Chains A and B, each alone.
Chain A
Amino acid sequence: MTEVMVTVNGLSKSFGGITATDNVNLEILKGEIHAIIGPNGAGKTTLISQLTGGLKVDKGSIRFQNTDITNLPPYARSRLGLARSFQITSVFHDLSVLNNASLAVQAHIGHSYRFWKPAEKDPEITVPAMEALARVGLEARAHTLTRSLSHGERRQLEIAMALATKPKILFLDEPMAGMGVDESARMVEILRTLRGENTILLIEHDMDAVFALADRITVLVYGRVIASGSPEEIRADAEVRRAYLGDES
């Protein structure tokens, strides 16, 4: 549990005059579920986008294990083992559920400059893809067009796609966003089964879910880290309560 997977050092990012990330330092340990919480506009998604490469960094550095990944493009980071899910569901609507997971597998097993053999009949792809779907409970829906999945199922598919790339670390941007109570509970269960095997950085608004899942929590307000620690420490932290959690919690 002590190996550090990701080290963020003095990370800053601003859009025009607005500082979205302000000198953030962060360590993510192997095997932990590390939650990042904070009010709307605290820069959580901006942070995750910089970590996964969707946004360029203004200042500071990001190290993944022993590699400096600060300036690597997204696909290269993904190759190293960083996977992300998106806050706004981002799947391939025009393809089947299995195709979605298969593409993630394809990305992981090397180049796809294979022009002849049907991908859908290739066990090298379909077997791990079905495994990933099974881990989130979607195997029965494999041949459904993704467009016709429910919102909750699409979010599950996102997780499956991230898992299918066999990531070393998983960045989940609000996996419970827009979900009903039942769907949220189901997602918490899915994420719980991933604990230990996977390192997860979780951004989430659902505080019940965060406190149920997280090993450590970092609180972000206006792009700055105001607290970091175990769920108990965060619950007890006066500044966090004032800034974010509300005194009654």
Chain B
Amino acid sequence: MDLKKLTSRRSVFTIFVLALCALMPVIAPVIGEPYFLEVFMRIMIWAIAAISLNLILGYGGMVSFGHALFLGVGGYTVGIFAYYDIFNGFITWPLALLFSAIIGLIIGAICLRTRGLYFIMITLAFAQMIYYLGVSVEEYGSDDGLIIYGRSEFIFDFAGVSWELDIGNQMVFYYLVFVILLACLYFTHRLINSRFGMVIRGVKSNESRMQAIGFNTYRYKLACFVIAGVMCSLAGVLSANAEKFVSPDMMYWTKSGELIFMVVLGGMGSLFGPVAGALVFLMLSEILSNLWENWNLIFGPFLVLVVLYARYGIDGLLERSGPKAKESAND
């Protein structure tokens, strides 16, 4: 591998964060903060959701303000099946992804007819619609949410050999989340550099030009929207298993807003940015909320400063060491 690439600030940071995630089960007990394990699990799950949002927002230029609805679709699929005593992850997980693909296809097909501010508003409207659906269905706990009595089960029964991936075990589940995070990063890396990814980036850069050279941009955007939705619902599935609880709150518009902030904070359109964004966002809110009950008074202005002064987020700060920082983005 290219040594220069490996020792760049960005790579060192990436490796550091991933190593931190990988070693947290060891580190947390040593530093006497065992609850850090849960914190990092949550960070990784949100990171997956943020990676998926970055796909449409950072690479595709589609500012969805309703992305958290896919968290809800993933979470509630697991939750509702569990409600009927179906815990088989081989059934519920693929179905969660399938449902989110269908919902993404329908919502995307409508929303992508609009652009810019209208797109923001209509995605928000759809997310709120699904949110109120969750609030209104009493069978599944309405706004009190739904408690899940046990994590999904993965029992391999093959040629007489039976083996279980016991994600009820916190450590096993933690590393499952970690592996899925790595898989999502790798998948996104391949995707954004493929022909499809180049089209998506071209659309962000100049959509009318893409049409002029012969792309039906609508369909490519829709495909991207669906892929992002499915990936986000996977985060929802993981979240439902992590918390053993789902509620309409997980798809409320503030959650979509937080996802956008993680992406912006980490650096839009950078592969690892959303992970960094989720890490900093959740760690800061964790630390600040322990220090002071009115922690939002500090957190809010901090976010404003980031948007004003660090336009490319954490990724931009890491790159500044390079020969040439990204200059004037909009022309």
A79 adjacent to chain B (CB < 8 Å): yes
Other-chain residue from A52, A79, A103 in contact with B198 (beta carbon distance below 8 A): A103
Contact A117 B195 (CB under 8 A): yes
- Who on chain A is nearest to B200 by CB? A112
Closest CB-CB distance, A21 to chain B, in whole Å? 19
CB neighbours (8 Å) of B206 from chain A are: 90-93
B interface residues, tally (CB under 8 Å): 30
* Complex Cα spacing A79 to B194, Å: 21
* Complex Cα spacing A106 to B199, Å: 9
- Who on chain A is nearest to B199 by CB? A112
Closest CB-CB distance, B32 to chain A, in whole Å? 44
Contact A54 B208 (CB under 8 A): yes
Contact B196 A113 (CB under 8 A): yes
CB neighbours (8 Å) of B215 from chain A are: 75, 107, 112
* Complex Cα spacing A15 to B227, Å: 40
* Complex Cα spacing A162 to B209, Å: 11
CB neighbours (8 Å) of A165 from chain B are: 213-214
Contact A104 B201 (CB under 8 A): no
Binary flags per residue of A83-100, CB closer than 8 Å to B gives 1, else 0: 110100011111100010
B183-199 residues with Cβ-Cβ distance < 8 A to A are 190-191, 193-199
Other-chain residue from B190, B211, B327, B329 in contact with A116 (beta carbon distance below 8 A): B190
CB neighbours (8 Å) of B204 from chain A are: 94
Binary flags per residue of B296-330, CB closer than 8 Å to A gives 1, else 0: 00000000000000000000000000000001110
Contact B195 A104 (CB under 8 A): no
B109 adjacent to chain A (CB < 8 Å): no
Closest CB-CB distance, A74 to chain B, in whole Å? 5
CB neighbours (8 Å) of A106 from chain B are: 195, 198-199
Contact A52 B212 (CB under 8 A): yes
Contact B193 A90 (CB under 8 A): no
CB neighbours (8 Å) of B194 from chain A are: 114-119
Contact A103 B196 (CB under 8 A): no
Contact B202 A92 (CB under 8 A): yes
Contact B208 A104 (CB under 8 A): no
B128 adjacent to chain A (CB < 8 Å): no
- Who on chain B is nearest to A162 by CB? B213
* Complex Cα spacing A112 to B217, Å: 11
Other-chain residue from B197, B213, B223 in contact with A107 (beta carbon distance below 8 A): B213
Binary flags per residue of A205-234, CB closer than 8 Å to B gives 1, else 0: 000000000000000000000000000000
Quick one: given A94-B205, A113-B223, are A119 and B213 in contact (CB under 8 Å)?
no
CB neighbours (8 Å) of A78 from chain B are: 211-214
A/B interface sample: 8 pairs, CB < 8 A: A75-B211, A78-B214, A86-B212, A90-B208, A90-B212, A102-B198, A103-B210, A112-B220
